[in-house]
Chain A
């Protein structure tokens, strides 16, 4: 199994600033994903983080707003840029671990509040 460490667990930020969220997996994983859960809503996929290449973004999400890095098979970051109060959400990292049995693992999320 894989263990995902996501940090920070929560932050309060000022409008116009940026926050980078880190996701560290304790083993190499095939695919990593970033989700957002806005208050009262369900999880929405932001993008798939691709190792060594640009992330694949879902409709409604763009790289300028949510730049993603994935320098290796165990680590990824999501940056929320030029934040506004509408960006206040939980952001979640998840990963597929494929070692003979594909299994999905999750971080515990980052609760972001933008003032």
Chain B
């Protein structure tokens, strides 16, 4: 069965320090994986996506994620947090042809950035 687990519901960092948002997935085949960000009163915005090309994926706003098949992980990182990064982040696996549904969302990680 396909699933997505975001290991932290809330992460708090200081401005200028690194960000790590963890995501583990379960899939019986090579999945397509996404990270989205949700700012208050806004729609979901795509940060980056993995579709079986390079395992290190660079996204917008300095974010990147590394697909590690051996660890079934797709953690989101950023070297230096900015105040504007404070938002909710969702890890998503695309599940074409699966029985559980088409898009499986993690429960989200709320990122807080302290001055």
Q: Which residues of A does B touch, CB under 8 Å?
A: 9-10, 33, 35, 37, 40, 42-43, 45, 58, 90, 92, 94, 102-104, 106-111
CA distance in complex: A52, B52 (Å): 44
- The smallest beta-carbon distance between A25 and chain B, in angstroms, is 15
* Nearest residue, chain B, Cβ from A6: B101
Contact across chains for A42 and B43 when beta carbons are under 8 A apart: no
Contact of B105 among A10, A40, A106 (CB under 8 A): A106
* From B46, B88, B102, residue with most partner A Cβ within 10 Å: B102
Report the Cα distance A70→B100, complex, angstroms.
26
Q: A92, B88: Cβ atoms under 8 Å? A: no
The answer to whether A109 touches B101 (Cβ under 8 A) is: yes
Q: How many A-B residue pairs have CB under 8 A?
A: 44
Q: Count of B residues near A, CB < 8 Å?
A: 19
Q: Which residue of chain A is the closest to B34 with respect to CB atoms?
A: A42
- Interface residues of B, dominant DSSP: strand
Q: Which B residues are in CB contact (< 8 Å) with A103? A: 108
The A interface, classified by DSSP as helix, strand, loop or mixed, is: strand
Docked complex: B61-115 residues within 8 A CB-CB of A:
88, 90, 96, 100-105, 108
Contacts from B to A (Cβ < 8 Å): 34, 36, 38, 40, 43-44, 46, 49, 51, 88, 90, 96, 100-105, 108
Q: What residue in chain B is nearest A101 (Cβ atoms)? A: B110
A10–B100 Cα distance when bound, in Å, is 11
Offer 6 A-B interface pairs, CB within 8 angstroms, sorted by A.
Answer: A35-B43, A104-B90, A106-B103, A108-B100, A108-B102, A111-B96
Q: Collect the chain A residues with CB atoms within 8 Å of residue B46's CB.
A: 42-43
Residues in chain B near residue A90, CB distance under 8 A: 102-103
CA distance A45 to B38 in the complex (A): 12
With CB as the reference atom, state the residue of chain A lying closest to B46.
Answer: A42
Contact yes or no, A108 B101, CB < 8 A: yes
Which residues of chain A are near B96, meaning CB under 8 Å?
A: 111
B101 touches A104 (CB 8 A): no
Least CB distance, A87 to chain B, in whole angstroms: 15
